Chains A and B, each alone.
Chain A
Amino acid sequence: MFRIIKKSLKIGVVTGQYRGEEKPLLPVIPEAKEKATLFKRSLAIREVDTGSCNACEMEMNALLNPVYDVERFGIHIAASPRHADALVVTGPVTVNMERALKDVHKQTPDPKIVIALGDCAIDCGMFKGSYAVTGPVERHIPVDIRIPGCPPRPAEILNALSELRKPTV
């Protein structure tokens, strides 16, 4: 017990120890912001992998570590699409995942926000044209915001999410 307390005291607070970015790389469109006003205080995200290389997922996961601690902004990860306000989709949408993606989208209650995370989700990236890929995501479901990068850094994801939920003036 003492060991644990000692360790926690020694480490202190690490949240926020990252280089922040000022602006999201792609501007967030006003329509998306409008949709997001409902979720200003809390946003439940469901992550869907449609053929990513796993790096984009790892950066999403990194958002949950104590350094980024996304929960302090009222953002949390939902275990089921039925509990989600937003879908984060990674990967170029493979032939085999296409149906699952559409199903998940259907299962998510309206109103919902769809976020395409990473170059693959936005325009299929390196996998464009492959016989096994039918994406990008927006070919199958409407996309509200795009976060480019291969993969985007957690700070960039965070930045785009907070930009999305900033009140429109």
Chain B
Amino acid sequence: MTEPGSCDNLLKAAFPVIVQGDAICGESSHFLVPKNLLPAITRYLHTQPSLRGRLTLIWTCDHRPVRDTYGLHYLFTLETSHHWVLLSSELAGNDRHFPSITPHVHAAKWYEREIRDMFGLIPEGHPDLRRLVRHEHWPKGTHPLRKDFPWNRVLGQQQGEYHFRRIEGEGVFEVPVGPIHAGIIESGHFRFSVAGEPIMQLELRHFWKHRGVEKLFEEQTLIGAVPLAERVSGDTTVGHSLAYCQAVETLLDLQVPRRARYLRALFLELERLYNHLGDIGAMCNDTAYALAHAHCGRMKERIMQLNDRLTGSRFLRNVIRVGGVTRNIENRQLTALVDELNRIQPDFSEVGAIIFANASLTDRLEATGVLDQQTAWDHAVMGVVGRASGIDCDLRRDRPFAAYDELPVNVALYRYGDVRARLRVRGDEIHESIRLIREIRAKIPDGPVANETSCSPKPGDWTLSAVEGWRGEILYMVMAGEDGRIHRCKVRDPSFVNWPAIQWAVPGNIIPDFPLINKSFNLSYAGNDL
């Protein structure tokens, strides 16, 4: 176990020029780093055996017009202590270049391409500088997150072509899929190179659904932006709104009442429940096992109707607010909820037994779409997908938020990294969520469910917040602007990190298995594209 203190000392000993910065939140260290040292330090953090930092977030902030600089920030999570290490660097306003860390830290690849698109800063030494968010028809020089780019600008058009990585040779051909798919799913493009049946390579082309969410945040007030956070990814309404609200509460120095913290955990678990149930059903459906799909769909619907009865929204919209929750759930309702879940649990166990007793189904699941532990680690994969590949991380246990400091969570962990492992993680988490909700019912204290505040943060103050949503770690960086507005809000859905990893789980499998593998990851397109 690395002690946080020792990690600071290690870093300072290895790189004497770095300066300790202000602490940003609990259990974290913050260093100010000259930009030319970034590759060396990140490499050290990432590879040093006693640290093993997992890249968690990279974000940039345009400080103009206040200061003529751009801020670059790199957040790492240490493997054993789950301590955060944040490296910050500044670029002068006329300096367009910063050194890329991708050659040493794979997981930085999309982040740096995103920064190039959104800010026009160039990661020098990056192996792949094609456009990511901005498709080819966006005119040159449009970098939406720069402060001189108006949020409602009408974009022009230009000609351009995206060059996919090509494999050439006898019998190799390409299969393009999307952006519009056959089922009712979101839009994204997949390009397969196949030789016969097996897939040799998959390349993703996403960001079709880019709606400009981060820029829209900058048009909102800190208190008023919760509905926007809820709509980043509709199936993770609670996860996103909770992560956002926590960040704002830190900025406002606002305490959330105990009861509200418990209710937040309750809503988060309900969200996990209905999504996991739906996913298990959809995975069975992709193996053509319609019976299990129907049963899971039925149970998912039950939970969503339950949500509707409890809160007036099937997706738990409008329940989390800055300072607490918008409505109290009476103890009587909680008891009824637990009773209902007590009936659903054996129901689910029976369906689970039917699923796993089906040999032809398990045959499809086993050894399909394997993401091995090393690859998962290299791409900083986390959440459900990570836990199925032996990456032991769960923020509910590692960096407790809401009421999880009083609700110990048993983390499901599997090693094989195949579709079956991802299904098993979800199955285990369903039981765990039901157990947690029972515990919430038993432990929830009485009291108010929201606090108010009238103070507003100093412009330029910023903070980070993290929530374990049902897909994985959701991160928000919120920086306050003038008059209680938002200067910058960085949103990171777990999908943004896990999407690139799917490219490594697919090769060697056949195309008909791809929908199944994709479902077993079940990543968000909306949360990724923002």
| Minimum Cβ distance to chain B for residue A142 (Å) | 19
Residue B154 lies at the interface, judged by CB distance under 8 Å to chain A: yes
Within 8 A of A (CB), among B179-234: 179-180, 182-187, 207-212, 215-216, 227-228, 231-234
| Minimum Cβ distance to chain B for residue A98 (Å) | 9
Task: Note all chain B residues with C-beta closer than 8 A to A131.
Answer: 144, 149-155, 212, 215
Question: In the complex, A11→B295 CA distance in Å?
Answer: 9
Task: Return the chain B residue nearest A15 by Cβ.
Answer: B298
Residue A57 lies at the interface, judged by CB distance under 8 Å to chain B: yes
Task: Note all chain B residues with C-beta closer than 8 A to A48.
Answer: 180
Contact (Cβ within 8 A) B210 A94: yes
| Minimum Cβ distance to chain A for residue B526 (Å) | 5
Task: Note all chain A residues with C-beta closer than 8 A to B186.
Answer: 49, 52, 54, 57
Question: In the complex, A11→B353 CA distance in Å?
Answer: 16
Contact (Cβ within 8 A) A54 B526: yes
Contact (Cβ within 8 A) A67 B350: no
Contact (Cβ within 8 A) B354 A3: yes
Contact (Cβ within 8 A) A53 B233: yes
Question: In the complex, A62→B295 CA distance in Å?
Answer: 13
Contact (Cβ within 8 A) B152 A130: yes
Residue B315 lies at the interface, judged by CB distance under 8 Å to chain A: yes
Known: A4-B354, A131-B152, A131-B153. A104 touches B298 (CB 8 A): no
Contact (Cβ within 8 A) A51 B211: yes
Contact (Cβ within 8 A) B298 A95: no
Question: In the complex, A133→B314 CA distance in Å?
Answer: 27
Contact (Cβ within 8 A) A91 B209: yes
Interface string of A1-20 (1 = CB under 8 A from B): 00110010001001000100
Question: In the complex, A9→B156 CA distance in Å?
Answer: 60
Contact (Cβ within 8 A) B184 A47: yes
Contact (Cβ within 8 A) B179 A67: no
Task: Return the chain A residue nearest B318 by Cβ.
Answer: A150
Contact (Cβ within 8 A) B227 A54: no
Task: Note all chain B residues with C-beta closer than 8 A to A50.
Answer: 187, 209
Interface string of A132-153 (1 = CB under 8 A from B): 1100000000000000001101
Task: Choose among B183, B185, B351 the residue that contacts A7 (Cβ–Cβ < 8 A).
Answer: B351
Interface string of A78-112 (1 = CB under 8 A from B): 01110000000001101111001000100000000
Task: Choose among A56, A80, A132, A151 the residue that contacts B210 (Cβ–Cβ < 8 A).
Answer: A132
Residue A26 lies at the interface, judged by CB distance under 8 Å to chain B: no
Instruction: Supply 13 further A-B pairs (C-beta < 8 A) apart from A130-B151, A130-B211.
Output: A3-B357, A7-B354, A51-B209, A51-B211, A52-B209, A53-B234, A54-B525, A55-B231, A104-B180, A125-B231, A126-B216, A130-B152, A132-B212
26 residue pairs of the A-B complex, CB under 8 angstroms, read A7-B350, A7-B354, A11-B347, A49-B180, A49-B525, A52-B186, A52-B234, A54-B234, A55-B231, A57-B185, A61-B184, A62-B297, A62-B301, A64-B297, A65-B297, A66-B297, A81-B180, A94-B210, A100-B180, A127-B212, A127-B216, A130-B152, A131-B155, A131-B212, A132-B144, A151-B234
The 3 closest A-B pairs by CB, nearest first: A55-B234, A65-B297, A53-B234
Taking beta carbons and an 8 Å cutoff, which residues of B are in contact with A?
135, 137-138, 144, 149-155, 179-180, 182-187, 207-212, 215-216, 227-228, 231-235, 237, 278, 291, 294-295, 297-298, 300-301, 304-305, 308, 314-315, 317, 347, 350-351, 353-354, 357, 524-526, 529
